């Protein structure tokens, strides 16, 4: 069965600095990978996904993620963090075929001015 791990509960970064939120996964076959963001009192918002093709995926709000098959990782990155990026970030993975989307437990990002 597929699984996803977000090893950090909390990531703190200064405004203007680059940020990385880590995600590793385990699947049988080629993964479908997703990042979502959740702001306070809101639902999850889709940021980006990797299905196939270029390993570097660009998404909303200047975020990008790099698919690394050898390391089974899909880390979320942004070159310059904003205070408004502070939120809860979820990585999710699905195997090809009729399988459910499995979410990580989330990483809380705090960007400090």
Partner 1 sequence: ETGVTQTPRHLVMGMTNKKSLKCEQHLGHNAMYWYKQSAKKPLELMFVYNFKEQTENNSVPSRFSPECPNSSHLFLHLHTLQPEDSALYLCASSLGDQETQYFGPGTRLLVL
Interface ranges with partner 1 (CB under 8 A): 34, 36, 41-46, 49, 90, 94, 97-98, 100-106
The CB-of-60 to partner 1 minimum distance in angstroms stands at: 12
| Residue number, 41 or 70, with CB nearest to partner 1 | 41
| Residue number, 20 or 103, with CB nearest to partner 1 | 103
| Residue number, 42 or 58, with CB nearest to partner 1 | 42
Put residue 78 in one of left, alpha, beta given phi > 0 → left and psi -120 to 50 → alpha: beta
C-beta separation of 108 from 53 below 8 A: no
Look at residues 100, 113, 93 and name the one whose alpha carbon lies nearest to residue 32: 93
* Alpha-carbon radius of gyration of the chain: 13
The CB-of-44 to partner 1 minimum distance in angstroms stands at: 4
The CB-of-29 to partner 1 minimum distance in angstroms stands at: 14
Put residue 106 in one of left, alpha, beta given phi > 0 → left and psi -120 to 50 → alpha: left
The CB-of-65 to partner 1 minimum distance in angstroms stands at: 14
């Amino acid at each position: 069965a597929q699984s996803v791990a977000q090893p950090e509960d909390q990531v703190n970064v200064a405004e203007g600095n680059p940020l990385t939120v880590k995600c590793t996964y385990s699947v049988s076959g080629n993964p479908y990978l997703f990042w979502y963001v959740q702001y306070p009192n809101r639902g999850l918002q889709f940021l980006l996904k990797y299905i196939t093709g270029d390993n570097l995926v660009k998404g909303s709000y200047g975020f990008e993620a790099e698919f690394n098959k050898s390391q089974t990782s899909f880390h979320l990155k942004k070159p310059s963090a904003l205070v408004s990026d502070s939120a809860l970030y979820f990585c999710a993975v699905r195997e090809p075929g009729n399988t459910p989307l499995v979410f990580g437990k989330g990483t809380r990002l705090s960007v400090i001015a």
